[in-house]
Amino acid sequence: MQGKKLLKVIGSILLGVLFLWLAFKEVEFSEVVESTRGMSWLWILPFALVTLGAHYIRALRWEMLFTNKEKVPAKTTLFTGVMFGYLVNIPLPRVGEVARPVYVAKQVDESSSKIIGTIVLERIIDVIGMLLLMAFVVVFLIADPQVLSRLFGVDITDPDTQLNLIFSLVKYGAIALAVLGILYWLFRKAGEQTEGKAADFVHKIQKIIRTFVDGVLAIRELKNWPLFIFHSLLIWIFYISMTYIGFFMFDMQGEFGLGFTEATVLTVVSAVGIAIPTPGGIGTYHLFITKALFIFYAVPEATGLAYATIAHAATLLIILISSPTLLALDKYLGMKRERES
**pLDDT tens, position by position, 167-195:** 777 887 788 778 767 766 766 666 565 56
Interacting residues of 92 by C-beta distance below 8 A, sequence separation 6+: 9, 12, 279
Residue pair 143/157 in contact by the 8 Å Cβ criterion:
no
Domain segments of the chain as ranges = 2-151+224-340
Residue pair 292/29 in contact by the 8 Å Cβ criterion:
no
Can you tell me the distance from the alpha carbon of 168 to that of 308, in angstroms, rounded to the nearest whole number? Answer: 32
Per-residue pLDDT averaged across 156-173, rounded?
A: 71
Asked whether the predicted pLDDT for residue 141 surpasses 80, the reply is no
pLDDT computed for residue 277 by the predictor: 75
> How far is CA 150 from each of CA 153, 154, 156, 191, rounded to the nearest angstrom?
5, 7, 10, 53
DSSP 11-77: HHHHHHHHHHHHHHTTS-HHHHHHHHHT--GGGHHHHHHHHHHHHHHHHHHHHTT---GGGPPPHHH
Which of 71-85, 143-157, 182-196 shows the highest mean pLDDT? 71-85
**pLDDT tens, position by position, 267-304:** 988 888 777 778 778 888 998 899 889 988 889 999 99
DSSP 266-284: HHHHHHHHHTS--GGGTTH
Name which of 276, 282, 270 is nearest 309 in CA terms.
282
